[in-house]
Copies of this chain bind each other. A is one copy, B any other.
Amino acid sequence: MSTNQLNELGKAAREAASALAVAKSSIKEQSLVACADQLRSNSRDIEVANQFDMEAARNKGLSKAMLDRLFLDKDRIEAMAVAVEGIALMPDPVGHVLSDSVRPNGLKIQKVSVPLGVIGIIYESRPNVTSDAAALCIKSGNACILRGGSDSWSSSNLIADCMRRGLESVGLNPNAVQRIPSSDRALVGELLRLDKYVDVIVPRGGKSLVARVQSEARVPVFSHLDGICHTYVDEHADLQKATNIVINAKMRRTGICGAMETLLVHEKLGQTFLPKIVSALKSQGCEVRGDNSVLHLKGVVPATIDDWDTEYLDAIVSIAVVPDIETAIEHINTHSSSHTEAIITEDKGNSDRFLREIDSAIVMLNTSTQFADGGEFGLGAEIGISTGRMHARGPVGAAELTTYKYRVIGTGQIRP
C-alpha cells in the first residue's frame, strides 16, 4: 500500500465523516443494530478466519496470554455483538446544547456538541477492539481508520467488513469504517502524520505501541503510557476499609492500568495497619518492596529508586511510609503517571486537600483504584483512558469523541 493510497483512504474517511456527522440518532442506532446482526450472521466465517490467525500465531510462538487475547469462538463473537448493541442503545452524544445564553443585543449563543471527525485507532491483538472501537465512533458520528495488529489480521478484517455492511444496510457510507489493508509497519508512521484527514489517534495496546504513537504523532493522541496508581492510607483512615480497598486495588486484577502499584502509609500506622497489610498482601501472593521503614517486616524486599516509577502490572507492590499528607501528595505528584490515585481517610480536611492537590486524571476517596474505568463511571463504553490534559482526560467514551461548535442565532443584528 502506498502513501497515495493511504491519502485516498483518509480522504474517503473524511467524506464519510461529514455525512455521518449529520446523520440522525435513529439511523446511527439502526446501523449499529445491523452491525451486530452482521457479526452474528457471519460468526462462522469469523471463527474460521480466527482459526487461521490462531494457527499463524501458534507457529510464531506467541505466549498463552497473547493467544487467549486473539482467540474467538461463537460465545466471544456473540459478546462482541451484544457490546455493539449496548453502544447502539446509549444516548447520542451529538447535538447536545452544552450552554445557551442570550446576549443583551438579543443574539442567542449556543454551544452544541458535534463529532470530532476522523479517529485513527491503532491496536494490537484483540480482534474485538475492531467492533468496539468502530461502534463507539459510529455512535459519536465519527469515521474511524482502524489499524489492527498483524496477528489478528484475518479476524479483524472480517469484523470490519461486518461493520461496513451494517452501515451500508441502512444507507450510511461504509467508508466511515476504514481499515488499513496492509500490515506494513511504515504505514503506522504515515497514519500518525496524516493530520489532514485524521483528527485524533487512539492507541490501544502495550507501552511500546503507546510510546511510539506519542512520540511520532503529528495529530493529538488520547492515551496513557503508564498507570502508576497510588493509594495513600492516611492516619485518619478506617483501617478495615483501608485493608479491603488496598487488597482490592492491588490484587483484584494486577494487569489493568487502574491497579495500584505503590502504597503510601502514614507513619502513625506503622505499628498497626502496616504490618497487617504487608502480611495480607504477602498471603495473597504479592511481592512487597518497601522503603527503610517497611524493611523490618518479614518477607519485604528493599525497593530501589526505580520502584517508585514502575508500573508492575503484576503481583508486586512498593510501599513507602510518609510522615504526613504533604509528603504523600508530593510523592504522588512526583512519581505518578497522572492516572488514578486514592486516599483512604475519614478526615474531611485531608480528603479535600488530597482531592484538590493531586494532579491526576482521577482522584478517589475511600475506594479502589480498580474502579478507574469508563464502564464503572457510567460512560457506557470507553475507547481508552487518557492521562493527557487536552480535550479528554480519564476514561474516553462517546462524549469525549465529540467537540462543539457555536450556533449564533440573530434577527438581523449588526455589530456596532
Residues of A within 8 A of B (CB): 18, 21-22, 101, 103, 107, 109, 114, 116-117, 199-200, 220, 238, 241, 244-245, 247-249, 252, 333, 355-357, 359-368, 370-371, 376-378, 389-391, 393-395, 403-415
Contacts and interface: CB of A to CB of B under 8 A. Distances in A.
B408 A364 contact: yes
A404 to B, nearest CB: 6
A244 B365 CA distance: 58
Contact of A393 (B18, B241, B404): B404
Contacts of A361: 405-406
A362 B393 contact: no
A120 to B, nearest CB: 14
A238 B410 CA distance: 13
11 contacts: A18-B333, A103-B377, A116-B390, A220-B220, A244-B412, A362-B405, A364-B408, A365-B407, A367-B413, A368-B415, A390-B390
Given A405-B394, A406-B363, A407-B363, A412 B241 contact: yes
Contacts of A247: 414
A200, A247, A355: most-surrounded residue (chain B CB, <10 A): A355
B414 A378 contact: no
A52 to B, nearest CB: 36
Nearest to A241: B412
A355 B415 contact: no
Contact of A405 (B117, B377, B393): B393
B200 A390 contact: yes
B18 A414 contact: no
A365 B413 CA distance: 10
B414 A107 contact: no
Contact of A415 (B103, B366, B370, B394): B370
A347 to B, nearest CB: 14
Contacts of A390: 116, 199-200, 220, 390-391, 403
Given A366-B411, A393-B406, A394-B405, 10 more contacts: A18-B359, A241-B411, A249-B414, A362-B405, A364-B409, A365-B410, A366-B412, A371-B408, A377-B406, A377-B408
Nearest to A248: B414
Contact of A21 (B252, B359, B394, B405): B359
B368 A413 contact: yes
A228 to B, nearest CB: 16
A2 to B, nearest CB: 24
Nearest to A391: B391
Contact of A238 (B220, B360, B378, B412): B412
A356 B21 CA distance: 9
A363 B405 CA distance: 8
Contacts of A22: 356-357
B359 A389 contact: no
Contacts of A411: 241, 366-367
Contacts of A365: 407-410
A350 to B, nearest CB: 14
